[in-house]
A and B are shown apart, each in its own frame.
Chain A
Amino acid sequence: MPWEKERNMTEKQKKISLLDVEKVAGLARLGLTPEEKAKLGGQLNDILVYMEKLDELETSGIEPLAHILPLQNVLREDRVREGLSQEQALWNAPEKKDGLFKVPLVLE
């Protein structure tokens, strides 16, 4: 990988392959040039190496956190609240048709 040479990585520091970068980009529907893949791959690898520092902490007795704030059961009552009109809802749509958002044909 380009970033492995660039950064003089040891085997242990190699966290992500070009294939991983392409897969993640594909899932996010991002079309990347070879240069972008190299640059972002290096950055992602750095992040993963950095995150590995957390492994040094002893976490076996700690409950996984579901939320970063000490909040729970934030609920609302089942009451109707006026939303947007059809016109407002479609305001920013690049294309519309008969009250619908128009998108390229999707067929199952």
Chain B
Amino acid sequence: MTTKHRHETNLIFSKKKLYETVIGLEVHVQLKSRTKIFCGCAAGSGGEPNTRVCPICLGFPGVLPVLNRKVLELAVRAGLALNCEVSEFSKFDRKNYFYPDLPKAYQISQFDLPLNGPGYLDLRLEGKTRRIGITRAHLEEDAGKLVHFENDGFSGVDYNRTGVPLLEIVSDPDLRSPREASGYLKAIRSIMRYIDVSDCDMEKGSFRCDANISLRPVGSEKLGVKVEIKNMNSFKGVERAIAYEVERQREALESGEEIIQETRLYNADSQKTFSMRSKEEAHDYRYFPDPDLTPIVLEREWIEGIRSSLPELPDPRGDRFQEQYGLPEYDAGVLTAERQLADYFEAAAALTTKYKTLSNWIMVELLGKLNEADLEIKDSPVSPIQMAGLISLIEKGAISGKIGKQVFAEMFKTGKEAEVVVEEKGLLQISDTGELDRIVEEVISNNPGPVDDYRGGKKQALGFLVGQIMKATRGKANPGLVNQLLRDKLYNP
């Protein structure tokens, strides 16, 4: 096994013992409502500090929080997409702790009766599928943001984010490697974006993750002492942080050290985790039911109504792409990772039958250009209909694939139809035998060396001659025709 793959294995070998890595993830997904979870303040990010606040989210005495109907719907939608049992009866609780970003000195969350109970996600990774349990997915409010002025010895608090709706998705300790952890995260993100409940933008903080990691001797049922890792801001960061932490714990266990239950912060620059000053009794949150909020009672029928509004999810859609369009698993996976991209493919696929060609053009040319221009698929200057138009020109033999790339680049730049670009730039493929005949003969008479080589048995020489013809026609010659004419003339001079 190479070093690159060292962290991808589930089992950590050591001189004395074989350890198994046990990982559980807590994912915070910011739900896409216009307003905050319990008040009418706008829920967006950024802006001037303390300008999206009101007496409710600032925790003034005597105010009454009221649950946002949209947030409830989004959370149930997310729970159903994760195969959770949606509770017919759930409630909110107060989680008590002191921190300046929490103006009420408690966070409204859900303790013993969460909105979404047990569920699962079938994780597909490297050709295998493993079912990862989801313990729960509950609603809670976000805290404010702290800005530190270390040199001046104070911190500043911005409460704009306070009360922004979050869904906390807690996994069972079922993940076994850093790769599985990041694979699980990507799958959750993809599903949440598909069902349109969150943007899941890690950079903007609308998708956050904490990891609980422990090691245990292989064969042991008992979980080891777990360490919580926070502050991982990218998928790569999650993998690196977990890999580092696994290694750290293994070394500690091997040298006979005890693992202490603690929270550690990941530093992306040094790629290491550091112990946070652990606060005593930090975990005594003294939860109790929030008397300000009423219980949530949901009817089966209402829940089923939401279930029936869910779109086809990424994995089943990928399976269908393989079956219906005959695409390889890889293509199907790439095309269905984002809903808009899958929609784009299907809109174009309705107008052509060359599905694999279409898939290649989308994955290589379109995604490449979008990436270069930092655009999303929904902002693509080339519409699915225009894409299908380009492919049909190639299929008809009007232009070659190579010229197609030029045409596509122009379409992407100008938003014009493929036919218009071909017409304007005079790129129509030369399939006229008479004209090609002349060019082929010219190339043969101008290149006696390679011609002799070919006739003498050096078959590679053909490639050179084809290249010369393409050059002479500026790539417009029909490649099939060129090969045929060239062979004919070389054998029957």
- Which A residues are within 8 Å of any B CB, using their own CB? 23, 26-27, 29, 66-69, 71-86, 89-90, 95, 97-108
Contacts and interface: CB of A to CB of B under 8 A. Distances in A.
Given A81-B41, A105-B148, A27 B281 contact: yes
B41 A29 contact: no
Given A84-B55, A99-B49, A105-B148, A67 B294 contact: yes
A83 B281 contact: no
Contacts of A29: 98
A78 to B, nearest CB: 4
17 contacts: A67-B91, A72-B294, A77-B68, A77-B70, A79-B34, A80-B41, A84-B54, A97-B149, A99-B50, A100-B50, A100-B158, A102-B155, A105-B148, A105-B150, A107-B148, A108-B265, A108-B276
Nearest to B265: A108
Judged by DSSP, the binding face of A is: loop
Contacts of A85: 51
Interface stretch (B283-291, B312-320, B322-330): B283-291
A69 to B, nearest CB: 7
B99 A100 contact: no
A11 to B, nearest CB: 27
B66 A81 contact: no
A107 B54 CA distance: 27
B147 interface: yes
Nearest to B74: A78
A82 B40 CA distance: 7
Interface in B84-99: 89, 91, 96, 98-99
Given A80-B34, A105-B150, A72 B276 contact: no
Given A66-B295, A74-B294, A78-B35, A105 B67 contact: no
A66 B66 contact: no
Contact of A75 (B41, B68, B153): B68
Nearest to A71: B294
Contacts of B149: 97, 105
Nearest to A108: B276
Contacts of A99: 48-51, 158
A71 B67 CA distance: 13
8 closest A-B pairs by CB: A81-B40, A100-B156, A83-B54, A78-B70, A101-B157, A99-B49, A75-B69, A71-B294
Nearest to A87: B50
Contacts of A98: 49, 156
B294 A73 contact: yes
Contact of A106 (B39, B68, B148): B148
Given A27-B281, A89-B58, 14 more contacts: A26-B281, A66-B91, A73-B296, A78-B35, A79-B34, A81-B40, A85-B51, A98-B156, A99-B48, A99-B50, A99-B51, A102-B154, A102-B155, A106-B155
